[in-house]
């Protein structure tokens, strides 16, 4: 086998996510490209969790609807997912659970019971260590050498490593190989969360300070930077709420520190007044908005692409902004760095628009090189004007300690002094719009739109939906067009004469479709999904066939 999908299911607290993460790393060590989708309710213990790791010899960024191997750590996983096993696939379950033994009796799959709980108990482990037993069994079933399993455990299981390896080894000894995966002669790539890639991109662009209040699905950026920030000289702060997050971040940026904040829709709503302050005071700011299903609290641990127009239009008054929506971990890394560079080059707010599916999925990661771009700094000559009128609208930056720096939320003159004079109000409005015109020219030089394949019929999509669209397009012989920069919106003229344009996105109103129409691009069909889950490959292929 050169491709495999494995699902692990259980209750919250069973270590389901960790199990699939470690399996993904094990398969990555065999040269595979991996993708992990995580599905969990917003409760700490109980409920039903499952994660799917898909591994292939080629780059993948989506899951299939069916799996080759289901590992059930509880009875719900059997009841909910046994029908999702492909013909000839395997069900592995914890045979120590007598209820599960009964549940598998009438299934149309061959059950494989292994005593995970009994192994853990015999070796004096904790109940959660059943996931290590499951990893051992999975590794044997798919033909992985145990030395690879042990190497991954030693690197990524910091607590009670030896005991976890012992449990995995005991479980590894039980099954016989059933579906051997080939070891591939490919480079072993790192495996990263989308949020980790966002954090690394910001670091590459010179991140100094990160402020955030925890809000799913942006929270793992905070956890990751808190873990590694001290070694890199990055200050990581969790204030009392998102209003404080934004205002403290603006203070740090005013003082010359490259600053990033992150939240989801509800938290970003509290930042919006501070966003307008960034626009008026021309304070650079990078904002990550990781979307989830709303309105309000909505479905907090699931995905949606429903905040596009909120981000494009948030704030009062008119001021330029730069918005990118990456589609995978590599793009998250590159375009986050680009967003921070643009924020400081043009002294504007910039946005990285993610969602739960991108932020909390795991990807094989092969980054594109990116460098920090230095802002325009005051040369120290003459009298300092914070808002000096220039040809491109960008005023040289100085910071407190170098000279007096007046930063104002009111309309102001070139010095930063409040004014209500009609002429100066007009001058500052025009200054901001000149910057936007310059940014539009800059976007023309960027890879603002990505294209996959060649055909007269095209899928147009954005963000995390890109991955599944690319695979579906390969199967159906379609082109995929992915605008990554969404503000200023890139030139779409070269795609006007396509025979058919189909927009695919995860929301109920067609937000990308509306943005395209606002920019003179007519579309023929829209395919929408809005149950807070991403598209699965077979599902999207069938829906595309209906409109072709």
Q: What is the pLDDT of residues 402-458, one digit of tens each?
A: 999 999 999 999 999 999 999 999 999 999 999 999 999 999 999 999 999 999 999
Q: Which residues of 106-119 are buried (b: 16+ CB within 10 A; e: fewer)?
A: eeebebbbbbbbeb
Kindly state the tokens that stand for 56: 């292939």
Q: What are φ and ψ of residue 462, in 5° steps?
A: -150, 160
CA distances from 326 to 203, 224, 340, 521, 535 (A): 17, 19, 14, 21, 17
pLDDT above 80 for 59: yes
CB atoms within 10 A of CB 534: 26
Q: Report the C-alpha gap between 323 and 511 in whole angstroms.
A: 15
Structural domain spans, the chain: 3-172, 191-364, 376-446, 449-547
Mean pLDDT of all residues belonging to the chain: 96
DSSP three-state, residue 463: helix
pLDDT band per the 50, 70, 90 thresholds, residue 213? very high
CB 347 within 8 A of CB 405: no
Q: What is the pLDDT of residues 503-528, one digit of tens each?
A: 999 999 999 999 999 999 999 999 99
Q: Give the pTM.
A: 0.96
Q: Which CATH class is domain 191-364?
A: alpha beta
In terms of phi and psi (left: phi > 0; alpha: psi -120 to 50; beta: otherwise), the region of 236 is beta
What's the pLDDT at 104?
85
Instruction: Please state the rounded mean pLDDT for residues 336-361.
Output: 98
Angle at 292 between CA 291 and CA 297, to 5 degrees: 125
Residues contacting 202, CB < 8 A, separation 6+? 210, 260, 286, 336, 337, 340
The percentage of the chain sitting over the pLDDT mark of 70, rounded to a whole number, equals: 100
What's the pLDDT at 111?
81
Write the CATH number of the domain with boundaries 449-547.
3.40.50.920
Instruction: Please state the rounded mean pLDDT for residues 530-545.
Output: 97
Cross-strand pairs, 143: none
What's the pLDDT at 44?
78
pLDDT above 80 for 1: no
Could you check whether 191-364 and 449-547 share the same CATH topology?
yes
What's the pLDDT at 175?
83
Q: Report the C-alpha gap between 55 and 34 in whole angstroms.
A: 4
pLDDT above 80 for 210: yes
Which of 274, 349, 353 has its CA nearest to residue 310? 353
Q: What is the pLDDT of residues 19-35, one digit of tens each?
A: 999 999 999 999 999 99
In terms of phi and psi (left: phi > 0; alpha: psi -120 to 50; beta: otherwise), the region of 404 is beta
Q: Which CATH class is domain 3-172?
A: alpha beta
Which of 7, 9, 21 has its CA nearest to residue 360? 21
Kindly state the tokens that stand for 475: 């199967």
Q: Report the C-alpha gap between 65 and 50 in whole angstroms.
A: 13
What's the pLDDT at 277?
98
Strands 449-452 and 349-355 come out as: unpaired
What's the pLDDT at 102?
82
pLDDT band per the 50, 70, 90 thresholds, residue 127? very high
pLDDT band per the 50, 70, 90 thresholds, residue 288? very high
Dihedral over Cα of 246, 219, 197, 41: its sign: negative
Strands (E), 306-411: 322-324, 349-355, 362-364
Instruction: Please state the rounded mean pLDDT for residues 482-510.
Output: 96
Q: What is the pLDDT of residues 316-335, one digit of tens each?
A: 999 999 999 999 999 999 99
């Amino acid at each position: 086998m050169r491709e495999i999908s494995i699902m692990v299911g259980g209750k919250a607290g069973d270590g389901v996510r960790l199990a699939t993460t470690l399996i993904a790393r094990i398969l990555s060590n065999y040269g595979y490209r991996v993708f992990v989708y995580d599905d969990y309710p917003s409760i700490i213990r109980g409920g039903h969790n499952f994660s799917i790791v898909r591994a292939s010899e080629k780059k993948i960024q989506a899951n299939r609807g069916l799996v080759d191997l289901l590992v059930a750590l509880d009875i719900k996983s059997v009841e909910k997912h046994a029908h999702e096993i492909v013909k000839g696939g395997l069900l592995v379950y914890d045979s120590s659970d007598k209820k599960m033994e009964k549940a598998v009796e009438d299934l149309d799959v061959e059950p494989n019971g292994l005593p995970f709980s009994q192994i853990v108990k015999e070796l004096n482990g904790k109940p959660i260590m059943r996931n290590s037993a499951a990893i051992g069994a999975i590794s044997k079933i798919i033909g992985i050498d145990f030395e690879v399993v042990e190497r991954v455990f030693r690197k990524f299981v910091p607590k009670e490593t030896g005991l976890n390896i012992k449990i995995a080894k005991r479980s590894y000894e039980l099954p016989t190989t059933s579906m051997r995966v080939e070891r591939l002669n490919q480079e072993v790539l790192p495996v990263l969360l989308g949020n980790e890639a966002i954090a690394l991109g910001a670091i590459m662009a010179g991140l100094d300070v990160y402020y955030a209040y925890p809000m799913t699905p942006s929270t793992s950026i905070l956890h990751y930077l808190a873990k590694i920030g001290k070694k890199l000289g990055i200050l990581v702060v969790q204030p009392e709420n998102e209003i404080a997050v934004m205002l403290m971040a603006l203070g740090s940026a005013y003082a010359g520190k490259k600053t990033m904040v992150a939240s989801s829709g509800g938290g970003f709503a509290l930042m919006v007044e501070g966003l307008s302050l960034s626009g008026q005071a021309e304070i650079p700011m990078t904002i990550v908005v990781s979307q989830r299903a709303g309105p309000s609290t909505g479905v907090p641990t699931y995905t949606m692409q429903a905040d596009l127009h909120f981000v494009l239009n948030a704030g009062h008054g008119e001021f330029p902004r730069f918005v990118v929506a990456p589609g995978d971990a590599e793009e998250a890394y590159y375009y986050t760095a680009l967003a921070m560079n643009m924020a400081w080059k043009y002294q504007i707010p910039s946005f990285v628009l993610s969602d739960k599916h991108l932020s909390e999925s795991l990807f094989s990661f092969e980054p594109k090189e990116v460098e920090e771009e230095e802002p325009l700094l005051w040369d120290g000559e003459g009298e300092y004007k914070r808002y000096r009128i220039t040809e491109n609208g960008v005023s040289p930056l100085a910071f407190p300690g170098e000279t007096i720096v007046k930063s104002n939320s009111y309309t102001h003159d070139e010095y930063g002094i409040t004014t209500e004079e009609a002429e100066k109000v007009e001058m500052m409005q025009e200054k901001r719009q000149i910057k936007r015109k310059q940014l539009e020219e800059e976007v023309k030089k960027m890879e603002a739109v990505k294209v996959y394949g060649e055909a007269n019929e095209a899928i147009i999509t954005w963000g995390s939906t890109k991955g599944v669209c690319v695979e579906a397009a390969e199967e159906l012989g379609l082109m995929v067009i992915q605008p990554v920069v969404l503000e200023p919106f890139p030139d779409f003229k070269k795609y006007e004469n396509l025979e058919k344009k189909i927009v695919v996105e995860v929301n109920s109103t067609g937000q990308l479709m509306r943005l395209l129409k606002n920019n003179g691009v007519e579309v023929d069909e829209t395919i929408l999904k809005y149950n807070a889950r991403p598209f699965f490959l077979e599902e999207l292929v069938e829906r595309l066939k209906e409109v072709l």
